[in-house]
């Protein structure tokens, strides 16, 4: 059913209105970074706008988002990302940490990385601002070890095909035109968008990851915040 | 009733959005099949000219083709805009790979806000299109084009035709956007058995062809097509310069030549010359040698380099049917429309031509995209100057130099069909220079062995040897002619063919000659004991030697 009205996230149970999507991939160790970047960039391509420039009387104009093709070295795959070096750096940093954590954990190579889009809801003092997620993407990763070059070649192709499917899945979700935060006024823009980048403006997001140890329980190693919010008290 | 709900301003806006959305859709699809990586810059300050807040380049020829196909209409129920992507091999086989369809259905969303929600959703849909165009099988194929095949596009408006995609084709939906007048749907139907076609078979040497994209269609039933070939007809020519200037009903599509400094060969109809000089919009600047024309990419957004090969900025006044830009890594590679592209071997080709819309007949000037001024075109136009370099003078001069097919190097065929105008084939230095000199070309007709008698010569031909075996060798194998490949060499006086012929009959080894073997067996046996005694005396030395080896 197509909704034409915006639905405000409920305060009592924020998780209920948070759309959650889960993707799973099995990759070789050296493919982890590229596979994660491909998925994260594809999501952020759809969840980034140009920079807003507010003018008088509440109107605003929107900057232009450029895009570029990225070829993967270890996967037979290419994807499109937003042309923003800052954004690319931020994602690479997060994915790099995830990859290192996967490698060092000594687990069977299972973990997941999450990209969460949220809105900030300002609270009155002395309460701190709430972060209310409205969309959560989780990528479950299973790292495989391959014995020989022939297997690796097949893996290159197969992972490439799998990633094509994931991109199609992501686009399907995006196309549902489900809840998106209302376009904010100038005073509210930082509650909805990350305005810290100089060339594009993604919705507020944070990336976190978890490594699953061999017992299958999830061990949270780090929670990272990649946005420049601070808890002001 | 629909229209009363929508204000006239909204209706106008909506129509405009849909029109530009269609044009941008075509740009994204075609650019994704050029075979190169696309890169555009983000800009925080809005320029006001980037539709849907996305930096998507407008390749003028592509826009032109799209506008032509749409002919002022918008996608509506039963009237879809389709972009067909096909592959064409150097042998002339072609195959449809994908059909991208922009359709409209009747489901209306009356409450949606046009200027805001619809616009943003169209922007989102374009982003989805950017993503999806990289994940269908044709993307990887298009990245590897130029070796043995090229990727072509065709835009048509009307009913979607999926029959060319073979059995079991798959569909992927890019997305939908509801509007008060209907729901816009964007999807792609793609050939499936291509997925098993290994792209690796196409990876060999660096490309010798420019990256080509064309927008003509290979007719499924060539014999029934009203079009005439624009380019060569192998086997039918009699050495005449391209004869179909009078015959051809098509207009121009360029034939592509295969050389690293790529060229575009234009074949034009006579009719075209009667029209006023076409106005070519600010279009591609392509480096072309010999034919000396170039076009400028209109926008600076793309990271294409107009390669500086020192060519003039001229055009001969031909409609240049280009699509695509330049490969930044290979700035000399040309992207442009092509027919057979001058790729040897050149088979007999059925009629080809430019046809933007299957439903319309191809009229003589149909394909002349720029000669008729496009009324709706508001782009800057520049009249093409007639300055040119080198061999090409005025357009009329150029017509004389147009040739149908270039005979590539290593081709052992009579080339009387071809008027060689320019050396624009790969390995041109190996190619026969021109028709008249073909007989003198050592590659085609290797010279006879030198007449001078050298000492070597004598022994080679074994005149003095007592062996009769050499004579037998001569009798058994007679060399008729020898045309070795890669063998043309201006530096040495003797080329490979000559060398081979001289040295193909080396003298027998002396130990194999019968004279020496005339010793009787008995003598051999007698000398054996002596030899053995000598060896036994030296046995210690032999042993020591063997030790050193271990």
Please report the DSSP string for B351-402 in residue order: -----S-TTS---TTTT-TTTS--TT--S-EEEPP----TT--SHHHHHHH-
Beta-bridge partners for B80: B158
Size of interface A-B (CB pairs under 8 A): 126
> Could B50 and A64 be called an inter-chain contact, meaning their C-beta atoms sit closer than 8 Å?
yes
Which of chain A's residues have a Cβ under 8 Å away from the Cβ of B116? 183
* Cβ neighbours around B287 below 10 Å, total: 22
Give me the pLDDT at residue B420, please.
41
Q: Is B189 on the interface with A (CB under 8 A)?
A: no
Instruction: Kindly tell me if the per-residue pLDDT of B200 is higher than 50.
Output: no
- pLDDT tens digits, B276-332: 443 333 333 333 333 222 233 233 333 333 333 333 333 333 232 333 333 333 333
Mean pLDDT of B396-418: 43
Nearest CA in chain A to B35: A69
List residues in chain A touching B: CB distance below 8 A: 2, 4, 42, 45-46, 49-51, 53, 61-69, 71, 76, 78-80, 82-84, 163-164, 167-168, 170-172, 174-175, 177, 183, 198-200
Residue A148: both structure tokens together? 């020989």
- Calculate what percentage of chain B has a pLDDT beyond 70: 40
Domains identified in chain B and CATH numbers: 8-190 (3.30.900.10)
Q: Nearest by CB to A62, which of B53, B174, B176?
A: B53
Q: Which has the closest alpha carbon to B101: B52, B161, B49?
A: B161
Question: Are the CB atoms for B18 and B74 separated by under 8 Å?
Answer: yes
Mean pLDDT of A216-227: 45
In this structure, is the dihedral angle defined by the CA atoms of residues B486, B491, B497 and B503, taken in order, positive or negative?
negative
Give me the pLDDT at residue A229, please.
41
> Could B174 and A175 be called an inter-chain contact, meaning their C-beta atoms sit closer than 8 Å?
yes
Question: Are the CB atoms for B159 and B140 separated by under 8 Å?
Answer: no
Give me the pLDDT at residue B474, please.
45
Q: Is B516 on the interface with A (CB under 8 A)?
A: no
Q: Is B37 on the interface with A (CB under 8 A)?
A: yes
Cis peptide before B345 (omega within 30 of 0): yes
Q: How confident is the model at residue A107 (pLDDT cuts 50, 70, 90)?
A: low
Q: How confident is the model at residue A127 (pLDDT cuts 50, 70, 90)?
A: confident
For an interface test with A, the pick among B113, B134, B172, B198 (most A C-beta atoms closer than 10 Å) comes out as: B134
Q: Is B42 on the interface with A (CB under 8 A)?
A: yes
In this structure, is the dihedral angle defined by the CA atoms of residues B307, B342, B213 and B72, taken in order, positive or negative?
positive
Mean pLDDT of B70-89: 92
pLDDT averaged over every residue in chain B: 60
Pairing state between β A60-62 and A67-71: unpaired
- pLDDT tens digits, B121-144: 999 999 999 999 999 999 999 999
Q: How far off is chain A from B175, nearest CA to CA, in Å?
A: 5
Nearest CA in chain B to A53: B45
Please report which residue ranges of B316-355 form alpha helices under DSSP H: none
Prediction pTM value: 0.56
Q: Is B125 on the interface with A (CB under 8 A)?
A: yes
Beta-bridge partners for B101: B82, B187
Give me the pLDDT at residue B103, please.
95
Residue B73: both structure tokens together? 């209409």
Residue A13: both structure tokens together? 């149970």
Sheet holding A19-28, edge to edge: A19-28, A130-144, A110-121, A205-212, A218-222
Residue A210: both structure tokens together? 């978890």
Mean pLDDT of B93-100: 91
Question: Within chain A, how many helices (H) and strands (E) appear?
Answer: 4, 11
């Amino acid at each position: 059913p197509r909704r034409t009205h915006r639905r405000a996230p409920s305060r009592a149970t924020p998780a209920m209105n948070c759309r959650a999507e889960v993707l799973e991939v099995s990759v070789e160790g050296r493919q982890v970074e590229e596979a994660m970047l491909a998925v994260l960039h594809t999501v952020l391509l759809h969840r980034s706008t140009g920079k807003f420039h507010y003018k008088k009387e509440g109107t605003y104009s929107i900057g232009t988002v450029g895009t570029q093709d990225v070829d993967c070295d270890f996967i037979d795959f290419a994807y499109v990302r937003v042309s923003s070096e800052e954004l690319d750096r931020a994602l690479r940093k997060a994915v790099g940490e995830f990859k290192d954590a996967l490698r060092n954990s000594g687990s069977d190579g299972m973990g997941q990385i999450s990209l969460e889009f949220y809105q900030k809801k300002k609270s009155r003092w002395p309460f701190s601002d709430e972060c209310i997620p409205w969309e959560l993407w989780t990528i479950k990763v299973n790292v495989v070890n391959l014995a020989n070059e022939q297997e690796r070649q097949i893996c290159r192709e197969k992972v490439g095909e799998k990633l094509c499917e994931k991109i199609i899945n992501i686009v399907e979700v995006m196309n549902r035109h489900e809840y998106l935060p209302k376009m904010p006024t100038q005073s509210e823009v930082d509650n909805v968008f990350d305005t810290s980048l100089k060339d594009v403006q993604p919705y507020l997001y944070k990336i976190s990851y978890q490594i699953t140890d061999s017992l299958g329980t999830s061990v949270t190693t780090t929670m990272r915040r990649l946005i420049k919010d601070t808890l002001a008290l | 009733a629909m229209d009363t709900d929508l204000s006239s301003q909204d209706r106008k806006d909506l129509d405009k959005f849909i029109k530009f959305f269609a044009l941008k859709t075509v740009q994204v699809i075609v650019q994704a099949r050029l075979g190169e990586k696309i890169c555009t810059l983000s800009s925080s300050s809005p320029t006001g000219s980037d539709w849907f807040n996305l930096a998507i380049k407008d390749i003028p020829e592509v826009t032109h083709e799209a506008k032509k196909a749409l002919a002022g209409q918008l996608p509506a129920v039963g009237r879809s805009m389709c972009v067909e992507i096909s592959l064409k091999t150097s042998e002339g086989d072609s195959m449809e790979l994908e059909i991208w369809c922009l359709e409209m259905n009747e489901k209306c969303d009356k409450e949606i806000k046009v200027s805001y929600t619809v616009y943003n959703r169209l922007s989102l849909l374009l982003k989805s299109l950017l993503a999806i165009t990289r994940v269908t099988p044709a993307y990887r194929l298009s990245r590897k084009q130029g070796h043995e095949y090229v990727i072509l596009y065709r835009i048509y408006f009307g009913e979607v035709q999926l029959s060319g995609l073979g059995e079991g084709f798959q569909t992927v939906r890019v997305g939908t956007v509801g509007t008060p007048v209907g729901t816009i749907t964007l999807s792609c139907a793609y050939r499936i058995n291509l997925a098993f076609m290994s792209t690796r078979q196409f990876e060999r040497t660096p490309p010798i062809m420019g990256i080509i994209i064309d927008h003509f269609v290979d007719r499924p039933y060539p014999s029934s097509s009203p079009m005439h070939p624009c380019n060569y007809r192998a086997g039918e020519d009699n050495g005449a310069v391209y004869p179909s200037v009078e015959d051809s009903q098509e207009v121009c599509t360029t034939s592509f030549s295969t050389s690293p400094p790529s060229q575009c060969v234009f074949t034009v109809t006579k009719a075209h010359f009667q029209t006023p000089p076409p106005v070519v919009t600010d279009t591609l600047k392509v480096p072309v040698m010999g034919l000396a024309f170039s076009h400028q990419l209109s926008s600076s957004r793309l990271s294409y380099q107009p390669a500086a090969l020192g060519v003039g900025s001229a055009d001969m006044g031909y409609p240049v049917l280009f699509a695509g830009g330049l490969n930044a890594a290979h700035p000399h590679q040309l992207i442009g429309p092509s027919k057979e592209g001058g790729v040897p071997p050149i088979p007999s080709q059925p009629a080809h031509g430019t046809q933007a819309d299957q439903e319309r007949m191809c009229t003589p000037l149909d394909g002349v995209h720029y000669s008729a001024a496009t009324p709706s075109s508001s782009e800057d136009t520049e009249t093409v100057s007639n300055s040119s370099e080198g061999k090409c003078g005025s357009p009329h001069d150029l017509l004389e130099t147009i040739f149908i097919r270039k005979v590539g190097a290593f081709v052992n065929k009579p080339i009387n069909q071809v008027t060689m105008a320019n050396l624009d084939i790969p390995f041109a230095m190996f190619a026969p220079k021109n028709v008249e000199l073909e007989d003198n070309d050592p590659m085609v007709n290797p010279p006879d062995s030198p007449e001078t008698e050298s000492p070597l010569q004598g022994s080679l031909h074994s005149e003095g040897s007592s062996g009769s075996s050499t004579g037998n060798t001569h009798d058994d194998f007679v060399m008729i002619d020898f045309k070795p490949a890669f063998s043309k060499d201006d530096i040495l006086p003797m080329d490979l063919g000559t060398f081979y012929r001289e040295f193909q009959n080396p003298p027998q080894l002396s130990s194999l000659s019968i004279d020496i073997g005339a010793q009787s067996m008995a003598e051999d046996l007698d000398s054996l004991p002596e030899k053995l005694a000598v060896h036994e005396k030296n046995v210690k030395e032999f042993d020591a030697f063997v030790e050193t080896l271990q």
